[in-house]
Amino acid sequence: DHKATARAVRAAVQDGVPGVTLRAQDRRGVWTTTAGVGDLRTERPRSPRDRYRVGSITKTFVATVLLQLEAEGRLSLDDTVDSWLPGLVTGNGHDGTRITLRQLLNHTSGIFNYTADEDFARTYFLKDGFFEHRYDTLEPEELVRVATSHEPDFAPGAGWNYSNTNYVLAGLVIEKATGRPYGEEIRRRVLAPLHLTGTSVPGTRTGVPGPSSRAYGKLTLDGGGPVHDVTRLNPSMAFSAGEMISDSKDLGRFYRALLTGRLLPKKQLNEMTDTVAVDATHGYGLGLMSTELSCGVTVWGHGGGIHGSTSEAVTTRDGHHSLAFNFNGDWSGDTEAVIEGEYCGD
């Protein structure tokens, strides 16, 4: 009856999230709900059809394309990064000749996460820097150089750490292997076949296509202070680690198609769902995370955060029960409670 989900959505708004849009689909049909507002100035409500920045949910699309290329024999996940991007991953102990494409996709490469660089964060995530640099175009190679200015987190394969740099490199490998922009490959191979008309890879486009809501952030380290409208930005700062835009209907369709084998052969889907343990309840495969919920249900999908936008999209392994939702604020709200509410109820 989705009552627990609805309560969790309302609780997120009470916690400070400006607005929520959510869509669930199971054997009984489709259920949507919204809460709060899509525009703090006009108090316009959020819409079930809202498009929004999905942040790191982009990673599942990127991993899907790389696995399709593997299935076609155009690359191997055991290839080294250096064999595709010679000389790019080097310096301060980083060595692309020792890192495989698989280690990029499951975050066991040890490559430093460029968004954890203090100067980068100050320039693009905090108030003064963001408003000065929000429209900058960054080249992906620049993002990699930020990462390699630090030492690796660990030797390749010796640990697990979430690093956006891994997926910037994965996007560049797609481009090298195909001769086309990675976003074009996502459009050709995933968006067009599944008719995901609400989903896009914006490149340097600064707006979010309608229908959409405004996006809000505090732009502080502690999540305090006034709220700022951060809707417009140049998403090249995220590139293939997190620049995509979608809506809840498309995300549900994408993950259902992926988990039921419509996008990958069985061998590649098995590789994607072969997880590294992150903690007691989470595992990370190839661009895909598994979460064991309190009631014993396991869901598969990914979350994503980017300025003013927090998103989650998950489905059961059989694809029969999917959920996708977005908060148009990035400083509060409990996404895990929403997922728990939908799959575990009261």
Active site annotation includes 56: yes
Cα separation of 23 and 255, whole Å? 13
Cα separation of 311 and 333, whole Å? 11
Of 7, 5, 31, 27, the C-alpha closest to 344 is 5
Distance in Å from the first CA to the final CA of the chain:
10
> 276: how many CB neighbours lie within 10 A of its CB?
15
Q: Per this entry, what is the length of the chain?
A: 346
Which amino acid is it at 213?
S
Positive or negative, the Cα torsion across 230, 232, 234, 238? Answer: positive
Q: Give the list of residues 6+ apart from residue 201 with CB closer than 8 angstroms, or none.
A: 182, 183, 186, 187, 243, 244, 245
Q: How many helices (H) and strands (E) does the chain have?
A: 13, 14
Cα separation of 152 and 144, whole Å? 12
- The one catalytic residue in 47, 56, 163, 246 is 56
Element spanning 4, H or E: helix 3-14
Of 98, 241, 126, 233, the C-alpha closest to 172 is 241
Q: What are the residue numbers of the active site?
A: 56
